[in-house]
Amino acid sequence: MRFRMLILGLAGALLSAHLSWAQLDTETPAQPSLDPAQIDAPFVHDELVVGLESGDLALPMLAMEMVGTITAQNPPINSFVIKLAPNLTMQDAGEFLRALPGVRYVEPNYLAFAFATPNDPSFSQQYGPQRIQANLAWDIWQPQRTVYIAIIDTGIDSNHPDLTNKMRRHSNGAVYGWNTLNNTTNALDDNGHGTHCAGIAAAEINNGVGIAGVAAWNPNVANARAYVQLMPVKVLSASGSGSLDAVARGITWAADNGAHILSLSLGAGSGAQQLQDAVNYAWNRGCLVVVAAGNGGSSSPQYPAYYTNSIAVAATDSADRLASFSQYGSWVDIAAPGVGILSTIPNNRYASYDGTSMACPHVAGAAAVLWSHNGSLTNAQLRAALETNVDPYQPYSGRTLAPNAGRLNVYRALQAVGGGGPTQPSLNSLSLNPTSVVGGNSSTGTVTLTAPAPSGGFVVNLSSSNTNIATVPSTVTVPAGATSANFTVSTRAVSSATSVTITASAGSVSRTATLTVNPSSSNVTLQSLTISPTSVWGGRSATGTVTLSGPAPAGGVVVQLRSSSSRASVPSTVTVPAGATSARFTIQTRSAFSITTVTITATYNGVSRSAQLTVWF
């Protein structure tokens, strides 16, 4: 602050000493913001461009040298580039310079990029890469390492002219892939589905053939095609079907054999522990697992998309409207183009298909663009960059995705992880913990930035949709060098459950989160008991879930449990923690020479709920 006052004081002194400058032309263009948080376009950090009026340049030249070093100039138009002195912000220096007579404008030193347009003849027929701004991402893509995408599907036609140069290969030239159906390295596509998905993710770009995949190309990068390579993992037969065991083995093989990104345009209406274990195994090994959400046009979970460590991808059309066939709901993480998608199919051909199967490899390809550019990202950071730097989508008949979810934008995501010069922070996410409270209690909000806050901090504006129920401070400041900050959401007592939307905004970016404020917990009752799966082989286990009508009060809620048969045993009680609305418990079964239907009963405060489990042999 002392430095700021000194600069402004010097500006006043210089103004008083040179009033004669007012006789010059005073036309002044509109001045852009110099607050890094408010600047939407890429720019050079710690530099300003200053434009002067014609005439005596001594005063402004002296002033510019007071705030930094003149590193470039353009005499015909009297413009100068200043590298600012350490610890001097763009706003303070700009305010000082703008106050001086003879200074026509002060603005950021914006960055410009060549517009890459590939020569693939069918690129003009592909709305997908352009909708997600992959063509803009290519302009700033500077790959640092090779990334492998495993297409876990029906295989890949590795001889297709748009794919053959993008295949990962052994030193002897053989394709690096696997076929879990017969345990061979022959993963050629005998269906077409996997080849179509492979082309969407990474068909060779600027080769004068066919289409352009999402990942990746830059005319200024030598051998650009080598930085993203495809690995075929065949888990589905010629009919397009396969067992979850085959899928699970394909996932673990890919994770064990160097794949960074696993793209699964497949799914089932029922999950399996083996499949979930495989997804978790890949995630824990640092892989990113991208999965099609499904084409049933419902909110029903599909697997493995539904698992926590999978990115579930919905489909949108060329107008960013959620496809009528796409799965939806709070478990779906992101959307991408999936209607009328032109891509490769076997025997050197091309075709347009619809489906979340087509949306999934758009996200997988985008992930490869980011990860090849910035190899230091963890899979969690990569996932966050993809899911938070998105564009709005249009719901279909009221169908929506997860809160804050949107349609993929690879250009914005690449900028967020360091594309296009020095990274400027922007608002990345807003979260609440807990997301449900009893009125009168508080929740903690957390705002997260895409990069560390600059000198002076980063201010985020806050608001509540219902200040009678939940209040927040007007702003929260992320300290210099930090990437997040917390704030408190205070609530009042309510007579019925009420949802309040908390909004955080900075510049043109807004993020929202929903807080449910519940009435006093004294009337909480047992609402339901569910069992998953509803049938198991003897010796296996199932999971029971008890759900309350509202959050448990302080001390939690103890629910009594019992089983109707010794074929299935349960703990005597399960506790729902304070503030939570549900809790899980394990049902352990034993083998016998019969099929038995067991009734599990949960009881709390005089209310009982039951569910049945079938135990096989």
Kindly list the catalytic residues.
Answer: 153, 193, 357
DSSP state of 425: P
Q: Six-digit token pair at 441?
A: 């209690």
Distance, CA of 403 to CA of 412 (rounded, Å): 19
For residue 577, count other CB atoms closer than 10 A to its CB: 13
Q: Within 13 A of 385's CA, how many CA atoms are on the CB side?
A: 30
Distance, CA of 455 to CA of 480 (rounded, Å): 5
Q: Give the length of the chain.
A: 617
Distance, CA of 574 to CA of 583 (rounded, Å): 7
CA distances for 583 relative to 53, 280, 443, 461, 574, angstroms: 71, 22, 21, 36, 7
Q: Tokens 């047992």 belong to which residue?
A: 526
Q: Which of 342, 273, 291, 284 is nearest to 150 (CA)?
A: 291
Distance, CA of 123 to CA of 203 (rounded, Å): 11
CB 59 within 8 A of CB 102: yes
**In terms of DSSP bridges, do strands 334-337 and 311-316 run parallel, antiparallel, or are they unpaired?**
parallel
CA 226 to chain centre: 25
Q: Six-digit token pair at 342?
A: 């032109």
Q: Which amino acid type is present at position 483?
A: T
CA 76 to chain centre: 46
Helix (H, G, I), strand (E, B) or coil at 7: helix
- DSSP for 54-95, please give it: SS--HHHHHHHHHHEEEEEEEGGGTEEEEEEPTT--HHHHHH
Q: Which amino acid type is present at position 410?
A: V
Q: Tokens 């489990």 belong to which residue?
A: 613
- DSSP for 310-359, please give it: SEEEEEE-TTSBBPTTS--STT--EEEE-SSEEEEETTTEEEEE-SHHHH
Q: What is the CA radius of gyration of the chain?
A: 29
Q: Six-digit token pair at 141?
A: 């893509």
CB 386 within 8 A of CB 407: no
Distance, CA of 73 to CA of 60 (rounded, Å): 13
